[in-house]
Amino acid sequence: KKRIAVMTSGGDSPGMSGTVRAVVRQTIASGCMAFAVYEGYDGLVKGGDMIKEMGWEDVRGWLSEGGTLIGTARCAEFRERPGRLQAANNMIEKGIDALVICGGDGSLTGADKFRDEWPSLMEELVTKGLRSKEDVAPHMHLNIVGLVGSIDNDLSSTDATIGCYSSLTRICQSIDYIDATAFSHQRAFVVEVMGRHCGWLALMAGVSCGADFIFLPENPPTENWEEEMCTIVRRHRDMGKRKTIVIVAEGAHDRKLNHINPKMVKDLLSNKVGLDTRITTLGHVQRGGPPCAYDRMLSTLQGVEAVKAVLEATPETPSPVICIVENKIVRKDLIKAIQMTQQVAKDIEACDFDAAMKGRDAE
Question: With the C-alpha atoms ordered 200, 203, 204, 205, is the resulting torsion angle positive or negative?
Answer: positive
Q: Which of 12, 42, 112, 152 is catalytic?
A: 152
Is 152 a catalytic site residue?
yes
Nearer to ligand ATP, 80 or 267 (CB): 80
| DSSP 8-state symbol, 290 | P
Which residues, 109 to 148, sit near ligand ATP by CB under 6 A?
Answer: 109-110, 113
Which residues, 24 to 53, sit near ligand ATP by CB under 6 A?
Answer: 41
Cα 265 to chain centroid distance, Å, stands at 28
Pick the binder of ligand ATP from 106, 119, 288, 318 (CB under 6 A). Answer: 106
Nearer to ligand ATP, 76 or 293 (CB): 76
Question: With the C-alpha atoms ordered 27, 148, 158, 359, is the resulting torsion angle positive or negative?
Answer: negative
Nearer to ligand ATP, 151 or 209 (CB): 151
CB of 340 to ligand ATP, least distance (A): 15
Choices 101-109, 177-185, 283-291, 308-316 (CB under 6 A): range interacting with ligand ATP:
101-109
Choices 100-108, 172-180, 283-291, 327-335 (CB under 6 A): range interacting with ligand ATP:
100-108
Tell me the β-bridge partners of 277. 188
Residue 196 labelled as part of a binding site:
yes
Nearer to ligand ATP, 106 or 288 (CB): 106
Which residues, 78 to 97, sit near ligand ATP by CB under 6 A?
Answer: 78-79
Q: Does 75 bind ligand ATP (CB under 6 A)?
A: yes
For residue 87, what are the CA distances in angstroms to 37, 220, 275, 321, 362?
Answer: 11, 42, 56, 21, 35
Name residue 254's amino acid. D
Q: DSSP states of 304-351 as a string?
A: HHHHHHHHH--TTSPPEEEEEETTEEEEEEHHHHHHHHHHHHHHHHTT
Choices 73-81, 90-98, 124-132, 340-348 (CB under 6 A): range interacting with ligand ATP:
73-81
Give the torsion through C-alpha atoms of 190, 196, 198, 201, to 10 deg.
-40
- Quick check: 337 and 325 in contact, CB under 8 A? no
Residues in contact with ligand ATP by the rule CB under 6 A: 9-11, 41, 74-75, 78-79, 103-107, 109-110, 113, 150
Residues acting as catalytic residues: 152
